[in-house]
Structure 1
Amino acid sequence: MSLYTLDEATPEFTEMTFIAPDASLIGRVRIGAFSSVWFNSVLRGDMEHISIGDETSFQDLSMGHSDPGFPLIIGNRVTVGHHCVMHGCEVEDDCLIGMGAILMNGVKIGRGSIVGAGAVVLEGTEVPP
């Protein structure tokens, strides 16, 4: 795995977290217990923090970014499918984000929701629980 300190912030995760050997974690990133970040994924906490809860799977080739005023917050027991792009959004507990989905700044996905594969969720959209 590639860990990058940025502005004195180093990614944080527990011994019970799986990080694939070629995943990249940059800056203000925190990953909870029993979570996983899979192959060729990137979590870039340069503009704001990124927080991933417990028992969450961030699958292969997915990208997580933050923008000023828009941290990326992913709850517990969330599955982020392969090849997703997530920009400064919030996903509550027990959600499924389908493969190839794109979530823009300010999106909020309510607890237990499903975002279909290939969906584009536009900036500021709120999906209720």
Structure 2
Amino acid sequence: MSLYRFSGRTPIVGAGGYVSELAMVIGDVRISENCYIGHGTVIRGDYGTIEIGPGTAVEEGTVIHAPPGGTCRIGKSVTLGHGAIIHADEIGDYALIGMGSILSLNAIVGCWAIVAEGCVVKNKQSIPEKVVVAGNPARIIRNTEPRDVEFWTRVKQLYVDLAHRYLKEGMEKID
């Protein structure tokens, strides 16, 4: 694991949580149990606090940062897609943040909301629960449907299982 203490703040990782040795987790970061923190991810709790709920997947290349004295709360079973940039105040349980999306300062995303790939949730924007948003800035395009919940529930479990596989098998560098 690539965990770094900074300014007296030490990251914490719960049981069954996997943090890639190619990720950087710095400072006041609390990662709950059964999370997947992918390769190339940067989670900076250097002057703010980051809380990641159980079963959450932070996919490769994602950046998470909290503002000075602030807290970025990410709920349980959230999926943060590859290359997302997260500066939000809160992401609700089971939300999905699509690949390459940007959540600006003070943004809030509700439970089971889906933020489409490449979407921009602007400063202080609030996304209600159970909606799908897309565009720049983010706009509601429809409500979350049962097919969304069914599909993303399976994907979320894949990442919990992947975390456990990495913990069990590890990675082997090939020279």
TM-score, normalised via structure 1 length: 0.96
Match of 2:117 in 1: 117
Residue pairs, 1:1-129, within 5 angstroms? 1-129=1-129
Shift of 1:69: 4.5
Q: Deviations over 1:70-102 (max 9, x none)?
A: 321100000000000001421010100000000
Shift of 1:15: 3.2
Q: Would the alpha carbon gap of residues 128 and 69 (structure 1) be closer, same or farther in structure 2, given more than 3 Å must change?
A: farther
Q: Which runs of 5+ in 1 are unaligned?
A: none
Distance 2:115 2:106 in 1: 15
C-alpha RMSD of the superposition: 1.0
Structure exhibiting the larger radius of gyration computed from Cα positions = 2
Amino acid at match of 2:76: N
Identity %: 36
Contact residue 110 and residue 127 of structure 1 kept, 8 A: yes
Q: Would the alpha carbon gap of residues 5 and 69 (structure 1) be closer, same or farther in structure 2, given more than 3 Å must change?
A: closer
Q: Which runs of 5+ in 2 are unaligned?
A: 130-175
Q: Deviations over 1:21-66 (max 9, x none)?
A: 1000000000011011000001000121000000000000000001
Distance 1:60 1:126 in 2: 25
Question: Which aligned runs of 4 or more in structure 1 are off by greater than 2 angstroms?
Answer: none
Amino acid at match of 1:19: V
Match of 2:159 in 1: none
Amino acid at match of 1:91: I
Amino acid at match of 2:26: I
Contact residue 79 and residue 95 of structure 2 kept, 8 A: yes
What is the number of residues matched between the two proteins? Answer: 129
Amino acid at match of 1:47: Y
Q: Greater strand percent: which structure?
A: 1
Contact residue 26 and residue 45 of structure 2 kept, 8 A: yes
